[in-house]
Amino acid sequence: MTEWTRFLDEPDLERHPVWRFDDARDGQVPVTEIDPVEYVDDPLMIKARFRTQDGVELTGYIVGYESYYAFFAFVNGKTYGFNKSWQSRIRETRDELAKVLGKPDLQLFPLEYSTGLKHEDGSPIEGVLNFRTDT
């Protein structure tokens, strides 16, 4: 039986750094061929390290492929999710994260990410996320 999970957590990403959504299971299944990470029809969840503009380092994962539209960060056993489709929640979630980190003026965006993995074309899976927080 294939391993799967409904919600990814840190131990899942330690076991398998790349996951994809599986409609039949209504959850995520691990991607085992990751050198390089190949595109599939479903969004990928890729383990990532983040660095904020004021130097805070976080771990979690990005969602998408080549264009990443969501990310999730793990802090003190809780998951903080940010998605471009959730514009009304981005500021609120950022404020919750800032409070937990003890950084009331947290400059989350633009947010650098890196994965240590590569796309099919050999380019590194790394970059900058910049979600709007003014709504």
| Tens of pLDDT, residues 59-103 | 999 999 878 999 999 999 999 999 998 888 999 999 999 999 999
pLDDT in tens, 94-134: 999 999 999 999 999 999 999 999 998 999 999 999 987 76
CA distances from 80 to 33, 59, 71, 100, 124 (A): 28, 11, 8, 11, 25
Q: Where are the domains of the chain?
A: 10-129
Mean pLDDT for the chain? 90
Taking a C-beta distance cutoff of 8 angstroms, is the pair 41, 24 a contact? no
CA 93 – CA 40 distance, rounded (Å): 29
Residue 27 CA: distances (Å) to CA of 30, 43, 111: 10, 12, 27
| Half-sphere exposure of residue 79: CA atoms within 13 angstroms, side-chain side | 14
pLDDT digits (tens, 9 = 90+) for 12-59: 999 999 999 888 777 888 998 888 888 777 889 999 999 999 999 999
